[in-house]
Amino acid sequence: MERTLNKELPNSVGKSVSISGRIEVRRDHGKLIFLDVRDRSGTVQVVVSPKAPGALEVAKDLRAQWVVSIEGEVKARTENTKGEGPLGGVELVAQAIQVLAKAEELPFELGTEVNIDTHFDHLPLTLRSERSRDIFTMQASILESYRASLRRQEFTEFQAPALVGGDAEGGAAAFKVEYYNDKTAFLATSPQFYKQIMVGPFERAFTVAKIFRAEKSATTRHLSEANCIDFEMGFIDDEREPMHVLQEVMRDVVSYVSKEHADMFARFGTTPPLIPDEIPVLTLQEALKTLGKKEAPDMEPEDERGICEWAKKEKGSDFVFITRYPTKKRAFYTYEDPAEAPYSRGFDLLFRGLEINSGSQRIHDYEALIARMKERGLDPEKFSFYLQAFKYGLPPHGGCSTGLERFTARMLEVPNVKEASAFPRDMSRIDTRISD
C-alpha cells in the first residue's frame, strides 16, 4: 500500500492507510499497546489490540526508535480521549506492522536532559530529539530568510573557497593543510578577500561560507568550524550603509521566524526578538560610559551582556550596534577616516548579549591598503592576488559577517553556541572526543 504521511490522517478518517515512521514511545495498557509514531510531518498515536493478533505479536517487541510501517484504519478520537498536538484528534488502529529497522536499547531516554558532552557523543541519536529538531529547523529558517532578504536587496550569491593560500584576517589562527608539491594551504578563516573581489563584478555580493578558526578558545561562543553569512556592497559613503542593509536583513529574519515558529519560542521559554524601527547605535566609548566603565579598546563579554540589557530596557531592542572601535583593534583592511582617528569605521552587532556580526567600511584605495599592510608588518607580495582587485579599481565598499550558529543560539536563548552546530568541532572534538 502507498505511504500516507501522518499529517494526512485527519483527512482519512474511516479509510485504510499505511504509515511509516519512527516509534517515539510504546505504552502498554492491559491488552492494548499504544505507539507514538513520528514521521517528517508529525506524530500520531497507533493502537494495537488483540483483534489484530499478528500486529500485537510484533508490537510486543517494539521499542523507542524502531522504524516501522503500519497498516490500519484511521479513527477519530472522542473529545475526552483526544491527544496533544495537531494530530491528537485521530489515531490509527493497526492491522499489520512491518519492522524496517530495529534499534538497540538507548543509553538514555531521548529528550531527557543529559550532560552536553553526552549529548555530543551521541549526536546521531540526540539530533532526533524535539529540542535539536527545533534548533536546526530554526537555523534553516534563519538562513532561508537571510538569503531572501539579501536577494531582495539586490545581492548576488557566490561560492567562496574553503581552501586558501593564507589567512585573510591577518591574525586569526588558521588550520594548515598539506597541499600539492609540498605547498602548505590553509582552511579559510573568512571569505573576506573573495567577497571584496566580488564587489568588482557584482557591486553587491554575498556568500554563505564555512570558516575555520584554530584559536585555542574553549568557550561557549567559539567553534573551530562555523558557518557565516557574509555580504559586501560597493558605492557606500560610510559604514552606516552596510549597517542599514543588515538592519533590514534582521527585520526580515525576525518577521519570518516570528510568524513560522511561535511554538518553538514558547518551547524554549523565550519570545521572538524585539527589533525597533532603528536599531540603537552606540560608539564603543558611549557604550562603556553607559555601563559606568572607563575608556577601553574593546568590550568584555560581560559588557556585551550589560549593554544588551540596557538596549532592551531603554530602547525596546534585542539588537544593538557598537561602532568606532580603535582602528588598531580591527582587521588591517578596516577604513579609518583621518578626521575620526584613532577610531575606525568598523561595527559589531550584538544580539541578546552576544556579538553575532562584525563588519566595516574597507580601505578601497590600492596605495592606502598597501601602506596599511606595511604598518601591520604584512608583506603585500603575499597578498598580490587579492590586491589586484584594488590595483584595477574597486569602489568605496563595506560589508559584514553574521555567525549562523551564534545567531541561532541567541534566537532560542540556547546558552552554548555548540548546541546550535549540528556537528560541532572544537578543541576537544571532531565527532568523537580527541582525548579525555
Residue nearest to ligand AMO (CB): 403
Nearest approach, Cβ of residue 405 and ligand AMO (Å) = 6
Pick the binder of ligand AMO from 21, 72, 273, 359 (CB under 6 A).
359
**Does 403 sit near ligand AMO (CB under 6 A)?**
yes
Burial label, 329 (beta-carbon count in 10 A; 0-12, 13-18, 19+) = middle
Determine the interface stretch with ligand AMO among 51-59, 74-82, 337-345, 352-360 (rule: CB under 6 A): 352-360
If the CB atoms of residues 4 and 361 are measured against ligand AMO, the closer one turns out to be 361
Rounded Cα–Cα distance for residues 67 and 37 (Å):
9
**Does 401 sit near ligand AMO (CB under 6 A)?**
yes
Nearest approach, Cβ of residue 293 and ligand AMO (Å) = 22
Pick the binder of ligand AMO from 139, 145, 360, 408 (CB under 6 A).
360
Pick the binder of ligand AMO from 239, 399, 412, 419 (CB under 6 A).
399
Parallel, antiparallel, or unpaired: how do β-strands 184-187 and 163-164 relate? antiparallel
For residue 369, the number of C-alpha atoms closer than 13 Å in the C-beta half-sphere is 24
Pick the binder of ligand AMO from 23, 223, 246, 320 (CB under 6 A).
223
If the CB atoms of residues 4 and 196 are measured against ligand AMO, the closer one turns out to be 196
The DSSP result for 341-377, as a single string, is TTB-SEEEEEETTEEEEEEEEB---HHHHHHHHHHTT
**Cell numbers found for residue 70:** 503500519
**Does 327 sit near ligand AMO (CB under 6 A)?**
no
Nearest approach, Cβ of residue 147 and ligand AMO (Å) = 17
Site for ligand AMO in 157-186 (CB under 6 A): 169
Neighbouring residues of 259: CB distance < 8 A, sequence distance ≥ 6: none
Pick the binder of ligand AMO from 258, 355, 365, 429 (CB under 6 A).
355
Parallel, antiparallel, or unpaired: how do β-strands 319-323 and 281-283 relate? parallel
Rounded Cα–Cα distance for residues 55 and 72 (Å):
10
Q: How many CB atoms lie within 10 A of CB 210?
A: 14
Distance of CA 228 to the CA centre of its chain: 9
**Does 408 sit near ligand AMO (CB under 6 A)?**
no
Q: Kindly list the residues in this chain that would bind ligand AMO in the complex (CB under 6 A).
A: 169, 190, 192, 213, 222-223, 226, 228, 230, 355-360, 399-403, 405-406, 417
